[in-house]
Amino acid sequence: MGKHSTNMRVKLPIFCLLLEAITILLFAIFVRYNDETDASEWHDRMKKHNESNADNDFYFRYASFQDVHTMIFIGFGFLMTFLKCYGFSSVAFNFLIAAFGLQWSTLIQGFFHGFHDGKIHIGIESMINADFCTGAVLISFGAVLGKTSPVQLIVMTLFEVTLFGINEFIILSILGAKDAGGSMTIHTFGAYFGLVVSRVLYRPQLEKSRAREGSIYHSDLFAMIGTIYLWMFWPSFNSAVTAHGDDQHRTVLNTYYSLAACTLATFALSSMLNGEGKLDMVHIQNAALAGGVAVGTSAEMMLTPFGAMIAGCLAGIISVLGYKFLTPVLDSKLKIQDTCGVHNLHGMPGILGALIGVIVAAAATADIYGLGMEDVFPLIYDGTRTSKSQAVYQLLALLVALAFALIGGIIVDNYISVLNVGKDNALNDVIFMRKN
C-alpha cells in the first residue's frame, strides 16, 4: 500500500469521521434552536405579542438563503470544472469542504453572534452566515485547486473558518464597518488567504502536470453553468443579510446593474487584448462576475444606479487585465500558481469594493439617507461617528482583512505542508472511481 492510498484510505476516513463526531458533540453541548425555530418558544412569543406575521422574516431570508446556497454548491462547484481532468475533484471537494465548513462555521460564528445563556442559538440567519463563511473557504480552494489532498483541504477549512469568524467579528462588531456582501470579509480575505497557502504548495514537479491544466470543449460549458448561477444570484448574495425594505431592494438593484455593466466591459477587454480578437472563455467565466464583488460593500449604500455601473465596469477591466498580465507574473516571479485566478475575480475586485465602500461612506449625508440612515450607518445616525470617520473605519477594516489573510495563511501553511499528498494527485481525478 503506497503513501497515496494510506492518505486516502486511512487518513481521510479518520479525519472525516473524527471531525464529524467532535462537531456533533459540540452541537449537542452548545447548539440549540433559536426562538423562531423552537416549537415552544415560538408559540409563546406569538401568543404574547399577537404576531400573526412573525414568520415573514423567515421566508424572505430563506429565499435569499436558497439563492446563496445555489451559488456555493452549484456556482463555485461548477465554475471550477473547466479543467479537463479535474472536474470530479472540483465539484466533489467543493461539496465536501462546504458540507464541513457550514457545520464548523455554525459553531465558530455562533460563539461571536447569538451566544447567550451558555448556548449558541441557531436559525435561518446563522445558516446564511455559515454559507457565507463557506464561500470564503471555496474562494481559497480556487487558488490551491489541484495541489492538495482532501485531507489538506479539510485542515485548511478548519483553520480558515475559525480565522474568518474572528476577522468578521473584528470588522463588523468592533470596527463597526459595513460589509453586507463581504467584499472584505469574504472576497479579499478568502482570496489572499488562498494565495498565501498556494505559495507553500508550489512544487516544481507540478509543472509536469501542466499539460493537464487545460479545458476541453464540454468542461468549459459546465464551468459556464457555475458562472451564470453566480452572476444571476449575486444580487441575493449581497442582500442576504441587509435590513428588509429599501436596503435589500437597493442592494439587489445596484448589484444587478453592476454585473450587467461588468459583462460588457469584460467582453470588450477580452477581445481587445487578444492578438486575433478572440474572446477568452476564462475571462467570460470569471471577469464578468467581478462586478458583484466590487459592490459587495457599497451596494447597500446610496451608490446610485450609474455609480454601480461604473463600479462594475472598473471591476471587469481590472479583472481581465489581471488575467492577462498579472497571473503569469505571480506564477513565474512569486511562485504563486493561482489555478482559478481568484486574485483577479475576488482579490483585486474585493479591494476595489472595499475602497468604493470608503468613498460612498464618506459621501453619506442626512439629506441623502433620511431616516434610512439608521439601517445603513447606525453609528452615523446616532451621532457616534461622522461620515468621514465611518470612511476611516471602512479603510481600517480592509487592512484588517488583508492582515488576517496574510498572517493566517502563513500559519496554516505549516500545518498543511507537513501533510502527505499523493504525487499524481495534481490536476488529475485519479482518486475517483466510476462505474464502468
Q: Looking only at residues 44 through 73 of this chain, which bind a copy of itself when binding is defined by CB under 8 A?
A: 44, 46-47, 53-56, 58-60, 62-63, 66-67, 69-70, 73
Q: Which of 33, 112, 169, 202 binds a copy of itself (CB under 8 A)?
A: 33
Cβ-based nearer residue to a copy of itself, 340 or 351: 340
145 binds a copy of itself (CB under 8 A): no
Which listed range, 250-258, 324-332, 348-356, 400-408, lies at the site for a copy of itself (CB under 8 A)?
A: 250-258
In contact, 181 and 238? CB cutoff 8 Å: yes
Q: What is the DSSP string of 101-118?
A: HHHHHHHHHHHHSSEETT
Which listed range, 16-24, 157-165, 324-332, 399-407, lies at the site for a copy of itself (CB under 8 A)?
A: 16-24
In contact, 297 and 181? CB cutoff 8 Å: yes
318 binds a copy of itself (CB under 8 A): no
Smallest distance, a copy of itself to C-beta of residue 62, A: 7
Which listed range, 8-16, 164-172, 178-186, 393-401, lies at the site for a copy of itself (CB under 8 A)?
A: 8-16
381 binds a copy of itself (CB under 8 A): no
Grid coordinates belonging to 28: 449537542
Smallest distance, a copy of itself to C-beta of residue 306, A: 4
Cβ-based nearer residue to a copy of itself, 51 or 388: 51
Cβ-based nearer residue to a copy of itself, 276 or 414: 276
102 binds a copy of itself (CB under 8 A): yes
Q: Which of 175, 206, 221, 363 binds a copy of itself (CB under 8 A)?
A: 221
What residues are paired with 121 via a beta bridge? 32
Neighbours of 61 (CB within 10 A): 19
373 binds a copy of itself (CB under 8 A): yes
- Picking from 291, 282, 268, 293, the residue whose alpha carbon sits closest to that of residue 328 is 282
Within positions 254 to 273, which residues make up the interface with a copy of itself, using CB under 8 A? 256-257, 259-261, 263-265, 267-269, 271-272
Grid coordinates belonging to 348: 483585486
Please enumerate in sequence order all residues whose Cβ is within 8 A of that of 162, keeping only pairs 6 or more positions apart, or say none: 104, 108
In contact, 361 and 178? CB cutoff 8 Å: yes
Radius of gyration over every alpha carbon of the chain, rounded to an integer in angstroms:
22
- Residues contacting a copy of itself: total by CB under 8 A: 140
In contact, 391 and 361? CB cutoff 8 Å: yes
218 binds a copy of itself (CB under 8 A): yes
- Picking from 288, 290, 339, the residue whose alpha carbon sits closest to that of residue 89 is 339
Within positions 392 to 431, which residues make up the interface with a copy of itself, using CB under 8 A? 431
Q: Which of 116, 118, 276, 383 binds a copy of itself (CB under 8 A)?
A: 276
Q: Which of 112, 119, 206, 246 binds a copy of itself (CB under 8 A)?
A: 246
Question: Which residue carries 487518513 as its cell?
Answer: 11
Q: What is the DSSP string of 362-405?
A: HT--HHHHGGGHHHH-HHHHTTS--HHHHHHHHHHHHHHHHHHH
Q: Which of 16, 175, 363, 392 binds a copy of itself (CB under 8 A)?
A: 16
Cβ-based nearer residue to a copy of itself, 179 or 300: 300
115 binds a copy of itself (CB under 8 A): no
Grid coordinates belonging to 108: 465558530
9 binds a copy of itself (CB under 8 A): yes
The enclosing H or E element of 31 equals strand 31-33
328 binds a copy of itself (CB under 8 A): no
Cβ-based nearer residue to a copy of itself, 293 or 405: 293
Within positions 116 to 135, which residues make up the interface with a copy of itself, using CB under 8 A? 122-124, 127
Cβ-based nearer residue to a copy of itself, 249 or 388: 249
Smallest distance, a copy of itself to C-beta of residue 284, A: 5
* Region for 426 from its dihedrals, namely left if φ exceeds 0, alpha if ψ lies in -120 to 50, beta otherwise: beta
Within positions 289 to 308, which residues make up the interface with a copy of itself, using CB under 8 A? 302, 304-306
d(CA 60, CA 132): 17
d(CA 407, CA 292): 26
Q: Which of 135, 142, 146, 150 binds a copy of itself (CB under 8 A)?
A: 150
SS (H, E, C) 302-369: CCCHHHHHHHHHHHHHHHHHHHHHHHHHHHHHHCCCCCCCHHHHHHHHHHHHHHHHHHHHHCCCHHHH
Within positions 176 to 205, which residues make up the interface with a copy of itself, using CB under 8 A? none
Where are the alpha helices (H) located in 201-245, listed in sequence order? 217-239
Cβ-based nearer residue to a copy of itself, 117 or 367: 367
